[in-house]
Amino acid sequence: MTPLLLMLVGILVSAFGTIVGFGGGVFMVPILIIFFQYPIEIAIGSSMSAMVPAALIASFFNYREKNIDYLVASLIQFPAMGGTVLGAFLVTFLPVLELQFTFAFFVIIVGFYLLGTPKNASQSLRHTGMMYRMSHLPTSFIRKNHNKHLAYRLNGSLVVFFGFLTGTIAGLFGIGGGFLQTPAMIKIFRMPNKIATSTSLFILLITSITGFSTHFWLGHVVWEKCLPLMLGFALGATIGQYSKKLESSLPRLDYLIGMGLFLAGMTLIINIIFKAGVLFNISF
C-alpha cells in the first residue's frame, strides 16, 4: 500500500511542479519525512532521484516543441554553480537560521502577492518600471523563437546576476533554487510563460542529475524507497506536460506560481524546523 500511495503523491506533486516549472522536488522532502517516516538524508536522496526522470521527460517534450531557451539556461546555470560554492562558504560566517526564516517568509509574501495581483495590473506594468528600463541597458539583447513567433528582450548582466544569486541562496540554505527561476523569468525578465517554465525545467534536469550522482555516491539513494517515487514523478511530468497544452482549462499561471511559492515557503520553514532538531525532538 505504501509504494502505491507514494507513487500517487509523486504524480500529484510532479504534475503541479511541471506545470509551474518548479519540478516539484522542493515539496517532497517534508512529505517524505512527516508522512512516510524517511530519514532526512534518504528523503533528500529519494526526492533528487525522482527529479531525474521527471525533468528528463519534461525537457524531451519541451525540446520537441522548441520551448527551451538554451542561452538563458546557460547564463543562469553556470553562475549558479559559482554562487552555490560561495553560499556554502558563507554558512560559516552568517546567521543561517535567521536568514532562512527571513527568506522563507519573503517567499510566502511574494506568493501572496502573485495570488492577489489582478491580471490587468500585471499587464499594465509590462512596459513600465525599473525592470523594463534595465532590460534596455547596453548588455541587453533580443531573443527570438521563430517556431513560436515570439520575441523578448533580456539584459545579459541581470540574468547572470540572478543565476549567481539563486546559486548563492541554494548553497547558503541547502535548498534548490529552481522554484525562484520561473517566477523571476516571467515577472522580472518578462519571458513568455511556456519559454520560462520549459527553460527552468531544463536547468532542473542538469541540477537533478548532479544532485542524484552526489547523493548516490553518499549512499542516500535506497532503490526500494525511491523507485515508486521515480515512477510517480515520471507519470506526473507526462500529465503536467499534457495539461500545459490545455491552458484554457488551467487557472492563470500567476495564481499557480503564487500557490507554489506559498507552499515552497511553508516547506522551507518545515525543513528549517527539522534541521534545527525541534520537530518531534529529532536532532540532525
DSSP designation for 137:
S
pLDDT for 251 equals 60
Grid cell digits, residue 116: 492577489
List the chain pLDDT tens, one digit each, 284 residues.
689 999 999 999 999 999 888 888 778 888 888 888 888 788 888 988 999 999 999 999 999 999 999 999 999 999 988 888 888 788 778 786 777 788 888 888 888 887 876 655 444 445 555 555 555 566 788 898 888 888 888 888 899 999 999 888 877 776 667 788 888 898 888 899 889 999 999 998 988 888 888 889 989 899 999 999 999 999 999 999 988 776 555 567 878 888 888 888 888 788 777 766 644 454 44
Grid cell digits, residue 80: 549558479
pLDDT for 232 equals 96
Q: 250 by DSSP, 3-state: which? A: coil
pLDDT for 59 equals 95
Residue-wise DSSP of 182-229: HHHHHHTS---HHHHHHHHHHHHHHHHHHHHHHHHHTT---HHHHHHH
Return all residues near 65 (Cβ < 8 A) that are at least 6 apart.
Answer: 194, 198
- Separation CA 201–CA 56 (nearest Å): 9
Return all residues near 281 (Cβ < 8 A) that are at least 6 apart.
Answer: none
Long-range contacts of 56-63 (CB under 8 A, 24+ apart): 56/205, 57/234, 57/237, 57/238, 57/241, 58/18, 58/23, 58/198, 58/201, 58/205, 58/237, 58/240, 58/241, 59/198, 59/201, 59/202, 59/205, 61/241, 62/198, 62/201, 62/202, 62/241
How many structural domains is the chain composed of?
A: 1
pLDDT for 60 equals 95
Provide the domain limits for residue 9: 2-281
Grid cell digits, residue 86: 560561495
pLDDT for 284 equals 44
User: In this structure, which amino acid lies at residue 198?
Assistant: S
Q: Are 69 and 199 in contact (CB under 8 A)?
A: yes
